[in-house]
Amino acid sequence: MREFILYSRKGRTDGKIKSLREAGRLDVVQECIIASLFLSHDIRRDTIFHAFLYGPPMPPLHLKVHGGFLRDVRTDQQTWGEIFRRVLSGKSHPGIIVEKRSFESLLRELPKEAKIFVLEEGGTDVFEVDFGEHPIFVLGDHIGLPRKVEGFALRYGEKISLGKKPYLAASCITVLNYLLDRLERNKCEGERRV
């Protein structure tokens, strides 16, 4: 199991969405969902994506997308715009839950075996990190994590880095998925040799 948590400072918290970009940059949320869950012609069933929306009119909202239950989706912005309009208006979609909940409350309730990693350029290099069986990655949106939020997350985890250059959140997720996929493949190949 792997999870990604995106903190969206401006993400709109109701279904009044004309365009994802103008709705507090819900386009960033959509791009991160795609990077987290989608493969070519498949969905990562063992992955959960969380977005915490702190934009108007009623923050915070927790948007949870579970790859194991997600159905009736494509990767384009139009499809996700319609999904966001629906779920943020209180309607349902398979694999997506929206609830009134804060970022801090989720971190307090995560399972003990989960390892939490906050992405930050000054963190430990990803190649020196043991991700464990249940890694959870915390990322900021186009603005970044507020200091207090980052400090709170670091009570439960550690900073890791993909390097000194700041990458887009969706790009960070793609790189992390690639690294985790390679680690899993190498582990499976090693077990087969034994």
Instruction: Tell me how far CA of residue 192 lies from CA of 73, 159, 188, in angstroms.
Output: 36, 33, 6
Structural domain including 21 reads 2-193
> What total of structural domains would you count in the chain?
1
Q: What is the value of pTM for the model shown?
A: 0.95
CA distance 158 to 1: 19
CATH number at residue 138: 3.40.1280.10
Has residue 194 got a pLDDT over 60? no
Say what percent of the chain tops pLDDT 90: 93
Predicted confidence (pLDDT) per residue in 39-90, tens digit: 999 999 999 999 999 999 999 999 999 999 999 999 999 999 999 999 999 9
